[in-house]
Amino acid sequence: MKQNRRHFLKKLGATGAAAAISPLAFSEEIPDKNFLERGPASEMVNDTPINLALIGAGIMGTEDTNSALRHANVKLVAVCDLYKGRLESAKQKWGANLFVTQDYQEVLKRKDIDAVIIATPDHWHKQISIDAMNAGKHVYCEKPMVHSVKEGMEVVNAWKKSGKVMVVGSQGVSSLGNEKAKELLAAGAIGDIVYAEGFWARHSPEGAWQYNVPKDGNEQTVDWKKYISNTTARDWDPLRFFRWRNYLDYGTGMSGDLFVHLFSSLHFITNSKGPTKVSSMGGLRYWKDGREVPDVLLGMFDYPQTPEHPGFNLSLRCNFVDGTSGTTYLRIVGTKGSMDVKWEEVVVKLNQNAESDDPFLREQAKLRGATEESRAKILPPRETVYAAERSWKGAHYDHFGNWFNAIRTNGTVAEDPIFGFRAAAPALLCNDSYFQDKFMKWDPVNMKLI
């Protein structure tokens, strides 16, 4: 009670001068702000050393490794990449004594490696994950877990057989924002979910995957034959290697790269297994550089009623031609309000205290018997913000922490291969809908295409 009183007096002090001037001061909407924190109980108690290897040392592989090495008792001992330039860079960044190779099988044969990070192009995720678990390694695989829906159960079955800990790298699943949104939805803060939407926008060459092509990137420094060995045979093409996300043989387009993050967050928050119907449309509007995938993509998804949640619909948008300079969010809309969910923040907006400014709707309300009250009321805040404390180390750090903790304690992770496949499948089916120009039917419980 004393704490609540102090909180009230603090807010009163901030608005007291305004209240003395204007009787309307308290009617202004001042968001209520709360801070999210990661308690000491979340820190790992088991300090067993973990020897790590990186397979795929590009942009995400480097970011993943740097995040992993921020944890205590984690050591990088080996790096694999098909481009020799990245192997040389790895030694400069992480130590001259690193074992480096262009053949991932050489990494998996090493007895001193406990776990691997797989951050290759998407078309190699399935095979390297399976080979790594069969070799007795724990796996952190970047999203999407697989390159096509038909590959999903192969990874799930290999994981079940191996007894190893595998986590998929949609880091938002370990974020304070996702965890708070899950708690708020379960508590009924916004009522029953009826709709959700997500938007991912960019407007830059790098954001649209026009990555730098190294001057020394050629057939002498890149193992091109290995790169294309599990897909269509082609002559050397530096763009298909260094800008692989633009091509269907290697990447999974905007939906596989970005929608999958939004699916992962939504499924974690709602406990959903996924949609049953998928559709999409879009086009190549701006980045006409030879890519095979659209730069504007819209997806629509139908989530039926299940024991975990009411039925709802999802709308996702991705735009690489966004003149607003970029916006990313997941909004969950319920019968009482909505939540805007980011990894580091949740904003709850309630509509139960809102009055319409539409004169037609006000007159209709009168016709059904609603009356205007003569005296003003004190209303609770319509908007509440939950923000991560500055001391929080971030979702990327926590995602690796959860994986290491599960390895050390023989525990589990939220984003295991079953979760990862259920998040990847609707994203991949979004591509299929776009290119086949039809609705896709999906069984999210049994994880099968209908």
- Got the DSSP string for 83-139? BHHHHHHHHHHH-TT-EEES-HHHHHT-TT--EEEE-S-GGGHHHHHHHHHHTT-EE
Task: Tell me: pLDDT of 360 over 70.
Answer: no
Q: What was the pLDDT predicted at 119?
A: 98
Task: Tell me: pLDDT of 18 over 80.
Answer: no
The average confidence (pLDDT) of the chain is 89
Token pair for 391: 């001391």
Q: What was the pLDDT predicted at 101?
A: 98
- What confidence category does residue 33 fall into, taking pLDDT thresholds of 50, 70 and 90? confident
The pTM score is 0.88
**Average of per-residue pLDDT across 175-189:** 97
375 contact partners, CB below 8 Å, separation of at least 6:
none
- What confidence category does residue 26 fall into, taking pLDDT thresholds of 50, 70 and 90? very low
Q: What was the pLDDT predicted at 214?
A: 97
Residues 317-353 have pLDDT tens digits of 999 999 876 678 899 999 999 999 999 999 999 976 5
Distance CA 142, CA 67 (A): 13
Q: What was the pLDDT predicted at 378?
A: 66
- What confidence category does residue 375 fall into, taking pLDDT thresholds of 50, 70 and 90? low
Give the residues across from 197 on adjacent strands. Answer: 315, 331
Task: Tell me: pLDDT of 60 over 90.
Answer: yes
Task: Tell me: pLDDT of 165 over 90.
Answer: yes
Q: State percent of the chain over pLDDT 90.
A: 80
- What confidence category does residue 130 fall into, taking pLDDT thresholds of 50, 70 and 90? very high
- What confidence category does residue 445 fall into, taking pLDDT thresholds of 50, 70 and 90? very high
- What confidence category does residue 376 fall into, taking pLDDT thresholds of 50, 70 and 90? low
* Contact of 139 with 132, CB cutoff 8 Å: yes
Min mean pLDDT across 7-21, 108-122, 195-209 is at 7-21
Min mean pLDDT across 84-98, 245-259, 367-381 is at 367-381
Q: What was the pLDDT predicted at 10?
A: 39
Q: What was the pLDDT predicted at 369?
A: 65
Task: Tell me: pLDDT of 300 over 80.
Answer: yes
Token pair for 15: 């608005």
Task: Tell me: pLDDT of 19 over 90.
Answer: no
Task: Tell me: pLDDT of 27 over 60.
Answer: no
In one-letter notation, the amino acid at residue 88 is E
The H helix count followed by the E strand count for the chain is 14, 17
Q: What was the pLDDT predicted at 13?
A: 37
* Contact of 298 with 253, CB cutoff 8 Å: no
- What confidence category does residue 393 fall into, taking pLDDT thresholds of 50, 70 and 90? very high
**Average of per-residue pLDDT across 21-39:** 55
Distance CA 433, CA 410 (A): 39
Residues 214-270 have pLDDT tens digits of 999 999 999 999 999 999 999 999 999 999 999 999 999 999 999 999 999 999 999
Q: What was the pLDDT predicted at 9?
A: 35
Token pair for 123: 């078309």
